[in-house]
Chains A and B, each alone.
Chain A
Amino acid sequence: MYLYLPVALTSINIIIPIGLGLVVGLLSGLFGVGGGFLMTPLLIMLGIPATVAAATDSNQIVAASTSGTYAHWKVGNVDFKMGFHLLIGGFIGGLFGVQGIKILRAMGNADFVIKMTYVLMLGIVGAYMFIESIQSMKKARKGDDVPLTESPSRESAIARLLKSLPLQTHYEKSGVTHSALIPIIFGGFVGVLAAIMGVGGGFLMVPVMVYILRMPMHVVVGTSLFQILFNCIEVTFLQAYTNHTVDFTLAVLLLLGSTIGAQIGTVFGRKLKGEQLKILLAVIVLVVTVKIIFELTMTPSLLLSQAGGH
């Protein structure tokens, strides 16, 4: 059964966006990512204009992350205080990131810088999480120390520096004590990068919470979803208000799948260990990295594409 989309100006088989929503919602519930890095390119492949794909996806993430946050909150896996501090940072970072894009565009070849930043961040984050979780799984199995090259000493040096900052706050849900500045600064850092790359940044926020804020993986997922929810509300409004690119019909089809997917993901996530979740997310991020590298190096079949806005 086909449905016509009033903003994307195209017709789509409704099974496809519902199925797509289900898969990406599952990832949200499992890993605490918005899944824009998967959803947006897939929607473009289905013939949705790029600007509509990105804006509509953020509308859909509002639903998926509400569903996911709710599910995680019920089992006590959302650290609202931490989420709120990350949000403050993310908001400020987003403002800087938008200015950063303007500067990049004025300097020319902005697309090159953006794409390279994206590939490098995906590659580094994916590889680091992959290696780290494999090593800690080995460690847990053998019960002895596995040399972690230089990373533990560097980590502890950072940890010592973080301890010396003012505004030390205890985050009960996460069971960690940090200066409130830490989530604000790192939330800001992710906000800058996410705005420049034009993505939600869940794949950056999750490792920041795991490795820098040292939060337990299950609380990371719930808190990340809470944080994503607010970011996507803001983005959806701005896209609808300034660019008129949110396709409500498409968003409804996607959220039919993604809200249910997020619930299923949460249930699955509870059955998996933190290390298993990390390694799965690392593999997905690495697969996406490889796919983008392929796209960058293979000659495209069409050299022209729809420009943004209308």
Chain B
Amino acid sequence: MKKFKIQDSRFKIAGFLSLCCTAALLLFCSSSSAELTINTNHDHISIDFSYHGSEVAVSGVSAAGADLIIKIASPEGRQSLRKKGKAAGFLWMNVGELKFENTPALYFMRSTKKLEGLLDEEEMGRYLLGYSALERHAEIAPVSNPEEKARWFDEFVRFKESSRLYSISHGDISVAEKDGKQNYHISLSWPYQAVPGDYTVTVYAVKDKRVIETAMTQVRVEQVGGIKFLADMAKNKGALYGIISIIVALAAGFGVGMIFRKGGAH
């Protein structure tokens, strides 16, 4: 009885697997006419002491004639920022904090043509393409009405753009037709302000105002060596880190004092 049951479930698994294979094969065939690929020049960016940003080159193959959108973004999260406002009617100072929910810390978008001409609003919203889609997706608190939300989202983008963490532009993806397909390539300067973490790079092939295909890959930004050692120590061994910082400062102060004393005596 027991044995029979096991056999039965084995058959079920085998059946399920073969079904999957067929489905995958079918899917593969149907999309093989317009296979979209994506590659980056490196999937790891290491932060060491000499790090001053990097360069990320994104390339691949797409169906001929398709327009392309490339997006690089960090995972969505909550960001708290101080907001400035007028206190007592005329003095600019920090007047509280705003929380920006469901927003990426880094957001780059590049497209072959202006985004508004490539996709309609619904499609932009579905794939979170463009600032207006990001704005609709974001939640900002505390704001009292949609106009206020729009105003603070604009400020948010300006803040992000000033630290080189958000940018949108078009016309800088180079495309070359080859064997009925097209090769695309773009090189982006990677800002040193981008914090360690995983970043998703996605390419969208667009035809007739619709996204017909997507492909994605990841870039991991990591601290290594001395940078990692110091950052970990500051975070996990605060007391020891503080004491070492103080001792080094004291030693440096005394050391320079001694050097000057010798220099002054002669």
Contacts and interface: CB of A to CB of B under 8 A. Distances in A.
Interface of A: 2-4, 6-7, 9-11, 47, 59-60, 62-71, 74, 109, 111-112, 115, 233, 236-242, 244, 246-249, 251-252, 255-256, 259-260, 262-263, 267, 295-300, 302-307
B231 A7 contact: yes
Given A47-B163, A296-B91, 17 more contacts: A4-B47, A6-B226, A67-B256, A70-B254, A70-B257, A109-B87, A238-B242, A239-B242, A241-B239, A251-B248, A263-B256, A302-B162, A303-B85, A304-B83, A307-B80, A307-B82, A307-B97
20 contacts: A4-B49, A4-B50, A11-B52, A62-B246, A63-B248, A63-B249, A63-B250, A74-B257, A112-B87, A237-B239, A240-B239, A246-B245, A248-B234, A248-B244, A259-B257, A296-B93, A297-B91, A297-B92, A302-B159, A304-B159
Given A300-B92, A304-B155, A237 B242 contact: yes
B136 to A, nearest CB: 20
A198 B245 CA distance: 20
Nearest to B242: A240
A48 to B, nearest CB: 11
The residue in A68, A69, A248, A255 that gathers the most chain B C-beta atoms within 10 A of its C-beta is A248
The residue in A111, A238, A307 that gathers the most chain B C-beta atoms within 10 A of its C-beta is A307
Interface string B198-230: 000000000000000000000000010011101
Contact of A10 (B81, B193, B245): B193
Contacts of A236: 242, 245-246, 249
A3 B230 contact: no
A66 B253 contact: yes
Nearest to B154: A303
Interface of B: 47-53, 80-85, 87-88, 90-95, 97-98, 152, 155-156, 158-159, 162-163, 192-193, 195, 223, 226-228, 230-231, 234-235, 238-239, 241-246, 248-250, 252-257, 260-261, 264
Q: Is the interface of B mostly helix, strand, loop or mixed?
A: helix
Contacts of B261: 74
Nearest to B258: A70
Nearest to B157: A304
A4 B249 contact: no
Contacts of A233: 246, 250
Nearest to A56: B245
A3 B50 CA distance: 5
A141 to B, nearest CB: 32
A239 to B, nearest CB: 7
B163 A2 contact: no
Nearest to B151: A303
